[in-house]
Amino acid sequence: MTLYDTSECPFAKKVRIVLIEKDLEFETVPIDLAKRENRKQEFLNLNPFGKVPVLVDEDGAVIYDSTVINEYLNDEFAYPSLLPEDAAKRARVRLLEDFADTAFTLPVMALEREAAGKATERDLANADTARQLVKSTLSMLERELGDREYLSDTFSLADVSFAPAALRLQALGIDLGACAKVRAWIERLAERSSIGAVMKMVA
C-alpha cells in the first residue's frame, strides 16, 4: 500500500504508527505542501480536499483523513486490534481520538509554529490560548488515565491520536510536573517500537 503524506504532519504520523503496529508493508510518497503539491490535480484526484495523509491500498481503495484511514486499517487487519470489543469502550476511544485531533494536536501545532518562528501574527495572538488548551487537556488526560497504562484497557487508537503531539510537549517547554500519570504515559508511548520508529523516520 502507498501512503501520501508529509513527514512533519502529526496526522500522517498517526497513520504510520498504526501501519507499523499492524506490521504492514507500505511505501510513502512525500507531498511538499510548501510547493503546493497537494493542490495539483493528480493529488486532488485522490483527495479533493487537498490534505494529507491519503492511503491507497493494494486493491486500489483510496482513503483519506487520518481517523478514517486508521479505522479502515483496523477493520481490514484485525490483529492487533486497536479498538476495544465493548461498544461503550469503543465509543470512548473514538471520542478521545476526536478530542486529540481537534482540541489538542492543533494547539500543539500552533505552539510549534511559534517556537520555530513560523507563526503568523494571528498564531502569535492565539499562542496563549493554545497553551491554555494544552494545559487543560493534560489535566483531562490525567483524569482519564486513572490507574490505566493507556487511555483504554490496552493501547488503542486514542493513544495513537495523542502520541505525535504529546511527544513534542517537552521540546515545547510544556511543564508536566503536575501530571505524573500523563508523564508516565508519554514515557510508555515513547518506548513503543511503532512510535519510536515513526519519530526516527520523520526526524
pLDDT given at position 201? 64
Taken in order of first residue, the domains within the chain and their CATH numbers are 2-76 (3.40.30.10), 87-192 (1.20.1050.10)
Q: Kindly give, in sequence order, each residue whose CB lies less than 8 Å from that of residue 134, ignoring residues fewer than 6 positions away.
A: 104, 107, 108, 111, 169, 174
Q: Are 124 and 164 in contact (CB under 8 A)?
A: no
115 phi and psi angles, rounded to 5 deg = -65, -35
- For residues 198 and 74, the model is more confident at 74
- The candidate with the shortest Cα–Cα distance to 6, out of 60, 50, 57, is 50
Say what the pTM is: 0.90
| 202, pLDDT greater than 60 | no
| 164, pLDDT greater than 70 | yes
Cα 101 from Cα 135, distance rounded (Å): 15
C-alpha cell at position 55: 492511503
